[in-house]
Amino acid sequence: MGNHQRFYTVVNLVQNTPAWLEWRQQGIGASDAPTIMGENRYKSAAQLLQEKRNPLREVVLNPAMALGNELEPVARARYVARTGREVQPVCLQSTRYEWLRASLDGLSEDHDTVVEIKCGQSAYRWASQSGTVPDYYYGQLQHILALTGLASLDFWCYWPGQPEVLIPVARDEDYIAGMLKREEEFWKRVQGGA
């Protein structure tokens, strides 16, 4: 076990199942953070608000998302092979903020290593060419760091036939403080119906 204090619990759910979808609906997940922070060019906070108030009954995947789900186990195995850090997918929920949640692509048994895996061609192109994380994932990564309390996480980009890209991402306390405030306000709007 790491030396940091944990403010979360592990939720025993399998990702992409109806039970997992319902759990996600009852809080703010890491992939919601960029939308709430205004960093998602594909979805507005108003759209997300409607989704949270009117839950989907099933997971709807576009072809890119479906491919990412298919490639993720391979990408995770490559990450383990390259880093020597054994990680497993896991769902976490904050004990401080009931709505603060994340479905992690990989967490080590000692809870000291988190990996966020991206298997999309555009994310891979960006990360491999610039050596940086695409801007639209920043909120997602900081949300995960806010929840886990870790100082950094590994951003792992995988695309078949290409060399993997590993980018360590540091915790940004100022960003996290602002993000948690906005997420809490957003969650009050979801619950308040206003």
What CATH code is carried by the domain that includes residue 50? 3.90.320.10
Q: What is the mean pLDDT of residues 17-35?
A: 93
- Is the model more confident about 41 or about 181? 181
For 129-174, the pLDDT digits (tens) are 999 999 999 999 999 999 999 999 999 999 999 999 999 999 999 9
pLDDT score at 194: 54
- Quick check: is 5 in a domain? no
- Quick check: is 188 in a domain? yes
Burial 61-96, CB ≥16 within 10 A → b, else e: eeeeeeebeebbeebbeebbeeeebebebbbbbbee
- Is the model more confident about 57 or about 194? 57
**What's the predicted TM-score (pTM) here?**
0.93
pLDDT score at 3: 45
Report the domain count for the chain. Answer: 1
- Residue 173 to residues 42, 71, 94, 149, 164: CA-CA distances in angstroms? 26, 32, 17, 10, 28
For 29-61, the pLDDT digits (tens) are 999 999 999 999 889 999 999 989 987 666 667
- Quick check: is 4 in a domain? no
- Quick check: is 6 in a domain? no
* Domain span holding position 152: 11-192
- Quick check: is 2 in a domain? no
pLDDT score at 65: 77
- Quick check: is 106 in a domain? yes
Q: Are the C-beta atoms of residues 117 and 105 closer than 8 Å to each other?
A: yes
